Amino acid sequence: MPDYMFLLESRLLPEQRAALLRVQELSAALGYNVYLTGGTVRDLITGASLKDLDFTVEGNPSKIARELEKGGAKVLMEDEKLRHVEILFAGDCEGSIAAARDDHYVRPGTRPEIRWSTIMEDLRRRDFSLNAIAISLNPASRGLLLDPTNGLSDVERAEVRALIIHSFTNQPVRLLRVLRFAARMGFKLEQRTQEWFELAIERDLHHSIEPGEAGAELRALAREENPTAILKSWEEHDLLETVHPVLAKKHPDYDSINRLNKVRDDLFMAGFRPRLGTPMMLSILGRLKDREQGSLLHKLGFRAAEVDHILEFEEKAQASAKELAGKKMAAPIDAYRFLEKMPVDTMAYLLAFSSNSSAVSKIRAYLNKWRPMRSGIPAVANELTTIGMPAGPKFDAIVDQMFAMQLMGRGKTPEEREKILRKLSGIKEQPKPKETKGKEKKVAKLAKLAGMTKAVPSPAPAAKAAKPSKPAPSTKDPQKKKKK
């Protein structure tokens, strides 16, 4: 069996590892068993990037959330009835903590009764086998894989398999979900799941997907790396209509989605892991009028603040572009400082859609030239230390000034930088010691000691010996000469 703990630790970003350790620690202190579950384990096994950390505890996650908040985490959403917390861990890493539960259906398709449960029951109530795997984070079994529904073998077969015959009846939103996972991963539906899917569509179950649930799927879709494949799959199965009839009629704006996705690649190359949910949502809804976009989002249960954020995003981004292209940002250092604070999704949106060429070229310079230059700043600080500048506020100010000059194309070579740093710090070069003469003396002394009086290799002393009355020009201090 592979070592899942090793696999996990080697794939986590430092801030994700810190979050994992903290949740583990807090769960242990509260006496809760804790597991990594759902998408995190699936993505770990399939080699996809770990976007977020989903934890399941045999206990109440709100106690853990309160402690995490003290350490700088932000609770994004808390459902006290479901005991589910969406959280932004310290270090800007997304995740969730949920209580292990069983959904008990009195009859298929009715609202389930929730019962707090063990991890095994929790895994069995999930939607698809590939989402029903957990990794234990408990001291006695850390790294143990729990896979009661054989999800691992479905992953190997590249299939999405629903767990029970009533899966779609119990939760019709799984019709959207099954296509989302299949399209995202390039998997097909397992044969029986395919039959259950078709039967559910025949029985019109997709018309009973609740708008809030469809909204959650649309939100998840906008966070996907390749929404096009999923949207096309929803369209092919006439499920886009269920999400919203206007979106189905006018179609998603595939051109805009592709443009934004190209920018995602550029940002990735520049070292960012951009979250493009908002600009992607605008791209998906790009063919709808503003009014239609607003009413779609409201109908699908988006909160008012979220709707405002999405609908005002473009205007705010364009205002930022105008400011970036304005007179106040003429000096590259000012543009750099402004861009340092610009959210990455705003940058992405402008790169993909803005016609403000000056703003766009500054963003490109920021990503491809200025940021890499900034990463060379520790070397500049070393150079400043080498010429004798002590640490302190003046030191930092000089490093900043040097960076501002580098942004304008100055200080490309170490020599040029030394000159600039000396000028900025006022530290003059030390006069060079009269090296040549000293060296000659030393060589002669060594030769004498070794009894090799005739063995001086350089022709220069011989020339000097021929004309003892005239001092060699090389003995003059070049610095002194300059000063005269």
Q: Which residues bind Mg ion (CB under 5 A)?
A: 39
Q: Cα–Cα distance between 107 and 348 in angstroms, integer?
A: 48
Q: Which does 171 bind (CB under 5 to 8 A by kind): Mg ion, ligand ATP, none?
A: ligand ATP
Instruction: List beta partners, residue 77.
Output: 86
Closer to ligand ATP by Cβ: residue 38 or 215 = 38
Closer to ligand ATP by Cβ: residue 219 or 309 = 219
Closer to Mg ion by Cβ: residue 39 or 274 = 39
Give the list of residues 6+ apart from residue 468 with CB closer than 8 angstroms, or none.
Answer: none
Q: Which of 26, 39, 300, 425 lies at the binding interface for ligand ATP (CB under 6 A)?
A: 39
Least CB distance to Mg ion at residue 299 (A):
24
Q: Which does 314 bind (CB under 5 to 8 A by kind): ligand ATP, Mg ion, none?
A: none
Closer to ligand ATP by Cβ: residue 126 or 417 = 126
Q: How far is CA 34 from CA 91, 99, 147, in A?
A: 21, 9, 15
Q: Which of 53, 87, 127, 317 lies at the binding interface for ligand ATP (CB under 6 A)?
A: 127
Q: Which does 114 bind (CB under 5 to 8 A by kind): Mg ion, ligand ATP, none?
A: none
Stretch that binds ligand ATP, among 69-77, 126-134, 192-200, 413-421 (CB under 6 A): 126-134
Q: How far is CA 141 from CA 3, 35, 145, in A?
A: 12, 10, 9
Q: Which does 321 bind (CB under 5 to 8 A by kind): Mg ion, ligand ATP, none?
A: none
Q: Which does 101 bind (CB under 5 to 8 A by kind): Mg ion, ligand ATP, none?
A: none
Q: Which does 320 bind (CB under 5 to 8 A by kind): ligand ATP, Mg ion, none?
A: none
Stretch that binds ligand ATP, among 127-135, 138-146, 261-269, 439-447 (CB under 6 A): 127-135
- Only one residue has tokens 């995190």, namely 40
Please report whether residue 201 would count as binding ligand ATP according to CB under 6 A.
Answer: no
Restricted to residues 393-452, the positions that interact with ligand ATP (CB under 6 A) are: none
Q: Which does 345 bind (CB under 5 to 8 A by kind): ligand ATP, Mg ion, none?
A: none
Closer to Mg ion by Cβ: residue 5 or 220 = 220
Q: Which does 131 bind (CB under 5 to 8 A by kind): ligand ATP, Mg ion, none?
A: ligand ATP
Least CB distance to ligand ATP at residue 167 (A):
8
Closer to ligand ATP by Cβ: residue 173 or 321 = 173
Q: For the window 145-184, what string marks contact with ligand ATP as x by the rule CB under 6 A?
A: --------------------------x-xx----------
Could you tell me how many residues make up the chain?
484
Q: Which of 38, 215, 274, 286 lies at the binding interface for ligand ATP (CB under 6 A)?
A: 38
Q: How far is CA 56 from CA 14, 20, 99, in A?
A: 21, 12, 6
Please report whether residue 283 would count as binding ligand ATP according to CB under 6 A.
Answer: no
Q: Which residue is nearest to Mg ion (CB)?
A: 39
Closer to ligand ATP by Cβ: residue 16 or 131 = 131
Count of CB atoms within 10 A of residue 144's CB?
A: 15
Q: Which of 131, 136, 169, 354 lies at the binding interface for ligand ATP (CB under 6 A)?
A: 131
Q: For the window 43-62, what string marks contact with ligand ATP as x by the rule CB under 6 A?
A: --------x--x--------
Q: What does the H/E/C string look like for the chain?
A: CCCHHHHHHHHCCHHHHHHHHHHHHHHHHHCCCEEECHHHHHHHHHCCCCCCEEEEECCCHHHHHHHHHHCCCEEEEEECCCCEEEEEECCCEEEEEEECEEEECCCCCCCCEEEECCHHHHHHCCCEHHHCCEEECCHHHCCCEECCCCHHHHHHHCEECECCCCHHHHCCCHHHHHHHHHHHHCCEECHHHHHHHHHHHHCCHHHHCCHHHHHHHHHHHHCCCCHHHHHHHHHHCCCHHHHCHHHHHHCCCHHHHHHHHHHHHHHHHCCCCCCCHHHHHHHHCCCCCHHHHHHHHHHCCCCHHHHHHHHHHHHHHHHHHHHHHCHHHCCHHHHHHHHHHCCHHHHHHHHHHCCCHHHHHHHHHHHHHHHHHHCCHHHHHHHHHHCCCCCCHHHHHHHHHHHHHHHCCCCCCHHHHHHHHHHHHCCCCCCCCCHHHHHHHHHHHHHHHCCCCCCCCCHHHHHHHHCCCCCCHHHCCHHHHHHC
Q: Which of 83, 101, 126, 417 lies at the binding interface for ligand ATP (CB under 6 A)?
A: 126
Stretch that binds ligand ATP, among 17-25, 125-133, 315-323, 331-339 (CB under 6 A): 125-133
Number of residues that bind ligand ATP (CB under 6 A): 12
Closer to Mg ion by Cβ: residue 39 or 227 = 39
Least CB distance to ligand ATP at residue 409 (A):
44
Beta strand pairing call for 53-57 and 93-99: parallel
Binding site for ligand ATP (CB under 6 A): 38-39, 51, 54, 126-127, 131-132, 171, 173-174, 220
